[in-house]
Chains A and B, each alone.
Chain A
């Protein structure tokens, strides 16, 4: 199919349809409202259901219901809305249901602002809600990659029967870029397997439940979920290593749109003879610790650059395990660092690394 120019949010909606998802439940919130708006128009055309929920609390429980009866389903929201979905996500993960949700992050905390942010990194990857469970979290750096990752989110959700979050900052949602979609609506309908509630005619009744009054059973279930995530960790880590072959003065770690701004800054400093690598985790969870450590081994120093006050840096530290000094540069509140801001931050780090560059 030829490339089309499309806004990120709309491309995300179309990608879900191409992945064979024709059911959407959600609630409007800037900067992701174009997803429900787009799907309200498109889903009836493809025989699907669009429901505007009364809240994100309801939307997230609606996807619990839809996934529980074995249907492929999507919800999207932005930061404050994701907080309201936390409860349902814990239930969905506990019940091992395949759902995909998208968080187009806006600045926080509180009501925050409507401008882009990466302030929900820790919420997405560590403390999403109560109890021991793990989301799979994918972070695209372009509209095209958002399309790819939404499609792959459905595959992962169904392969592991686990909730998958695609996380982008407000820029990904709002900007227009050329994108190409796979032609075909992908795959057959979701396989209801031996778990979905499709009516018990001709078989034993099924239960979807997360009440474990027996502590031994609860412990076993927690271990089972953990073991599943270990399999995900083994098989599903994704990252991009840019300029990372050979020793470098500095390794930048950055994800999502922010990493593209970092690339511009890195190219600018290349002309001055600095060798700077970029490591971009694509799976924020499972985080590619090992790959990052290998990249870090070749660098004198590391800097984590994020649109928040320093969240992913905790994982960068875990990856580097004290072997390299780690700096941080970030802006929050909706301010997007310019390439110049990043260049200035990189110069600081380069100085600390004792890197000389070309004599000028």
Chain B
């Protein structure tokens, strides 16, 4: 009999604690598969955030840090700069990365740190019970925006992939989704590309993954997929935002 599906060595066998319909688990799986398939597991160090995926250090089957809230990019910088042969990735939620850790992510990206960020955008703070995130959609209800996000007060949701793509240094930036098999296949390609570029020693790579949070969105898993597609995707457009070919830093390398 032909084996068509099995565990990935990139993940431990530990059952995850994620809610039914949550796509954190799918994203873990993709990262685990890529790390395994590229043969990088033995020299990979991952950095888990504070958020629902705080226990990611239990799930990824490689050496793992657990960082303080938002600081994973700084921890990754310290690790990768001092042991450049490691493959380093951060796995971060949108509260972690786009709110408390905004300074760390922007500067790590801008310095061109040679690690990869997997950014899970589920438009909410999952772990702490559904509070508003910087990525919460206009009008979206959360426990701290009970009347829906009021953009006059809270501003508009931050498009992190686009924001980082204004920087000259990063090598690869793409936004993907994992709510359908087709999107999941594309997401894996993007994650693979990011790790490949890192393994080649290229600058910073960043993959934003649109993700579901049925529990705090107050929707069923099926409704969550629809909401992601109909509400999030028009605002957070999928696609490559920056490629190594786009690098325009060369023109600034004149004499000073």
Contact = CB atoms under 8 A, between A and B. Distances in A.
B73 to A, nearest CB: 8
Contact of A69 (B57, B68, B86): B86
Nearest to B71: A61
B104 A199 contact: no
B45 A62 contact: no
B74 interface: yes
Interface string B59-73: 001111111100100
Contacts of B154: none
Contact of B43 (A71, A199, A211): A199
Interface stretch (B20-28, B76-84, B248-256): B76-84
A197 B75 contact: no
B114 interface: no
Nearest to B65: A208
B62 A205 contact: yes
Contact of B61 (A69, A91, A205): A205
A73 B68 contact: no
A58 B107 contact: yes
B68 A88 contact: yes
A66 interface: yes
Contacts of B76: 65
Given A67-B78, A211-B66, 17 more contacts: A49-B81, A61-B68, A61-B71, A64-B67, A64-B74, A65-B79, A69-B82, A69-B86, A87-B68, A87-B71, A197-B79, A205-B64, A207-B57, A207-B66, A208-B65, A208-B66, A211-B55
B41 interface: yes
Interface string A165-189: 0000000000000000000000000
B248 to A, nearest CB: 23
Nearest to B40: A199
B42 interface: yes
Interface in A73-124: 73, 87-88, 91
Contacts of B58: 207
Contact of A58 (B42, B61, B103): B103
Contacts of B45: 69, 197, 199
B215 to A, nearest CB: 19
Contacts of B158: none
A160 B80 CA distance: 25
A209 B57 CA distance: 8
A30 interface: no
Contacts of B78: 25, 61-69, 73
Interface of B: 12, 41-45, 47, 54-55, 57-58, 61-68, 71, 74-83, 85-86, 103-104, 106-107, 111
B83 A62 contact: no
Contacts of B42: 199-202
A53 B63 contact: no
A interface, size bucket: 35 or more
Contacts of A205: 12, 61-64
Closest 3 CB pairs of A and B: A65-B78, A201-B42, A61-B74
Nearest to A59: B74
B103 A55 contact: yes
A202 B57 CA distance: 19
A209 B79 contact: no
A210 interface: yes
A53 B103 CA distance: 11
A207 B59 CA distance: 11
A211 B62 contact: no
A206 B61 CA distance: 9
A280 interface: no
B75 A64 contact: yes
A197 B64 CA distance: 7
B67 A51 contact: no
A6 interface: no
Contact of B74 (A65, A197, A198): A65
A268 interface: no
Q: Which of A60, A68, A70 has the most CB of B within 10 A?
A: A68
A61 B75 CA distance: 5
Nearest to B12: A205
Nearest to B72: A61
B77 A65 contact: yes
Nearest to A199: B43
Contact of B81 (A23, A59, A67, A68): A23
Given A91-B68, A199-B45, A62 B77 contact: yes
Q: Which of A25, A87, A199 has the most CB of B within 10 A?
A: A199
A272 interface: no
5 contacts: A61-B78, A65-B82, A198-B83, A205-B64, A207-B65
Contacts of A87: 68, 71
Contacts of B77: 25, 51, 53, 58, 62, 65
Given A69-B82, A69-B86, A57 B74 contact: yes
Nearest to A196: B63
